[in-house]
Amino acid sequence: MQHYEVVIVGGGPAGLAAAIEARKNGAQSVVVLERDRELGGILQQCIHHGFGLVVFNEELTGPEYAERFIDELMELGIEYRLETMVLEVNADKTIRAISPSDGMIEIQAKAIVLNMGCRERTRGAIAIPGFRPAGVFSAGTAQRFVNMEGYMVGKRVVILGSGDIGLIMARRMALEGAKVLAVAEIMPYSGGLTRNIVQCLHDYDIPLYLSHTITEVRGKERVEGVTIAEVDENRKPMTGTEKHYDCDTLLLSVGLIPENELSRGAGIQLDPVTGGPIVNEAMETSVPGIFASGNVVHVHDLVDWVTEESRRAGAYAARYVQNKLVEDASVIASRPGDGIGYVVPHKVRPENLNDKLAIFMRVKEVFHDAKLVVKADGEVVYSRKKRHMAPGEMEIVQIDAQKLKDLKPAELLVSVEGGETVHV
């Protein structure tokens, strides 16, 4: 049995930030366990620009963004193990992992930070009818083939879903000489960032069909074509609206799912809406001493916020190890109200807050000129008018910690008030 103060499960952007911050906050022995052959996670295949505007105030590529953290990790001398697959995380904070160089590894940690990230929803998850030929890829898998392996996945492409990876891949495929025929999105609004709609679709004359889905995949061996159709308000395809495309490739960007198989194994409570652990202000899960941050908790659209959240998780994990986290404290329940899909964190112990409490959330629909309001037992502690809010873009509110310490409310309720719901 090996012993560490803080074990970080996953060496992507979340794990790197958590590890660095744990060390900076006084944790002596920290180790990052990464299942892939290198650190950096999915950032390594995101060769486009757009990372780091919040954290570094400049635009970096994915690998560049990862490199900054990997460099810092090295400078701090933090231990990491590659090709190390964690098989089990237990509530007693033992971990079982394997790697080709070390074989079977058993670790007793004082604190664990879960940073496993997320995976893509598949064709099966949405049961697209038709044949099951080659040429149907999730957007992230296609991105890996193109950017990491150096292979193209098709010549004429239709994309289902307007998640950010799909939008990025529309541009990437077009730049590689493929013809991207259309992007179909079942919802009446895009699932991706507005800047990606503009920079990846509009700039390349790729049409986006909202309220459309795929009704058939043709081709027995390789994709030969797809049919898309408009959907009604119940998201059922309407006959007579079909459009047929001859194509050899269908990319799917239909959502991301936090990867919580290990969390489930440890008996950690999950939020059915986010698919990730229920966490408190310290990013600590329902199992004391096991923390979680990044896409394993809820899917982020900007890596910068993964970093911000994970820095907190790492810092609090270090405090936990040093018995500086107030466990026996008053707890505020943080809840989504009207118009809000979810909020993270779910629970807040004001005693542990520094100067601000950051609440991350997503709205359920597109809103124009609405107010984002946070009430502490009915008293407004935050209110801001927003010109535009969409489910594809995470919202963040910062609340003054002192206010919460003074008020000691039982509940924080986040709601959208006024404005208009927009159906594009």
Partner 1 sequence: MRYGPYNHFTGSRMKRGEMYDVVIIGAGVIGCGIARELSRYDLSILILEKEGDVADGTTKANSAIVHAGFDAYHKTVNGQMNARGNPMYDRLAAELSFPFQRIGSLVLAFSEEELASLRELIDNANVLKIPGVEMLAPETVHAKHANLSQEIRGALWAPTGGICGPWEFAIALAENAVENGAELALNTQVTGIQKTDAGFRLSTAAGGSIESRVVVNAAGVYADTIHNMVAEPFFEIHPKRGQYFLLDKAAGDIVDTVIFQAPTKAGKGVLVSPTVHGNIIVGPDAEYVEDREDLRTTGPQLDYVRQAARQSVPNIPFGMNITTFAGLRAESSTRDFIIGPADDVPNFINAAGMKSPGLSAAPAVAEEVVKHVGVALGGELKERKDFNPHRRPAAHFAEASPEKQAELIATDPRFARIVCRCEYVTEAEVVDVIHRKVGARSVDGVKRRARPGGGRCQGGFCSPRVMEILARELGTDMGDVLKDGPGSYILTGRTKAVEGGM
String of contacts with partner 1 for each residue 28-67, x by CB under 8 A: -------x--------------------------------
Q: Output 99 or 322, the one with its CB closest to partner 1.
A: 99
String of contacts with partner 1 for each residue 218-247, x by CB under 8 A: --xxx--------------x----------
Of 250-289, which residues contact partner 1 (CB under 8 A)? 264
String of contacts with partner 1 for each residue 96-135, x by CB under 8 A: x-xxxxxxx--------------xx-xxxx-x-xxxxxxx
Of 71-100, which residues contact partner 1 (CB under 8 A)? 83, 85, 87, 96, 98-100
Q: What is 329-350 written as a DSSP string? A: ---EEEEE-TTEEEEE-SEE-G
Q: Output 25 or 141, the one with its CB closest to partner 1.
A: 141
* Paired sense of beta strands 179-185 and 367-376, if any: unpaired
Residue with tokens 């979340």: 14
CB 173 → partner 1: shortest distance, Å? 10
B/e letters for 65-99, b = 16+ CB within 10 Å, e = fewer, are: bbbbbbebbeeeebebbbebebeebbeebbbebeb
Q: Of the candidates 265, 259, 261, which has an alpha carbon nearest to the alpha carbon of residue 93?
A: 265
Q: Output 273 or 326, the one with its CB closest to partner 1.
A: 273
Q: Output 222 or 384, the one with its CB closest to partner 1.
A: 222
Residue with tokens 């970096």: 60
Q: Output 57 or 101, the one with its CB closest to partner 1.
A: 101
CB 121 → partner 1: shortest distance, Å? 9
B/e letters for 264-292, b = 16+ CB within 10 Å, e = fewer, are: eebebebbeebbbbbbbbbbbbbbebbbb
Cis before residue 345, ω within 30 degrees of 0? yes
CB 190 → partner 1: shortest distance, Å? 22
DSSP 26: T
Which residues, 6 or more positions from 75, have their beta carbon under 8 angstroms from its beta carbon? none
Whole-number Å distance between alpha carbons of 358 and 388:
20
Q: Output 122 or 322, the one with its CB closest to partner 1.
A: 122
- Which regions of 27-120 does DSSP assign to beta strands (E)? 30-33, 49-51, 60-61, 79-81, 85-89, 94-99, 103-114, 118-120
Q: Output 133 or 188, the one with its CB closest to partner 1.
A: 133
Size of the site for partner 1 (CB under 8 A): 50
Of 172-211, which residues contact partner 1 (CB under 8 A)? 176-177
CB 242 → partner 1: shortest distance, Å? 12
Q: Output 63 or 133, the one with its CB closest to partner 1.
A: 133
CB 155 → partner 1: shortest distance, Å? 6
Whole-number Å distance between alpha carbons of 156 and 133:
15
Token pair for residue 15? 């794990």
Q: Which listed residue (64, 72, 216, 417) binds partner 1 by CB under 8 A?
A: 216
CA distances (Å), 388 to each of 163, 299, 370, 395, in order?
18, 20, 8, 11
String of contacts with partner 1 for each residue 139-178, x by CB under 8 A: -xx--xxx-xxxxxxxx--------------------xx-
Q: Which residues bind partner 1 (CB under 8 A)?
A: 35, 83, 85, 87, 96, 98-104, 119-120, 122-125, 127, 129-135, 138, 140-141, 144-146, 148-155, 176-177, 215-216, 220-222, 237, 248, 264
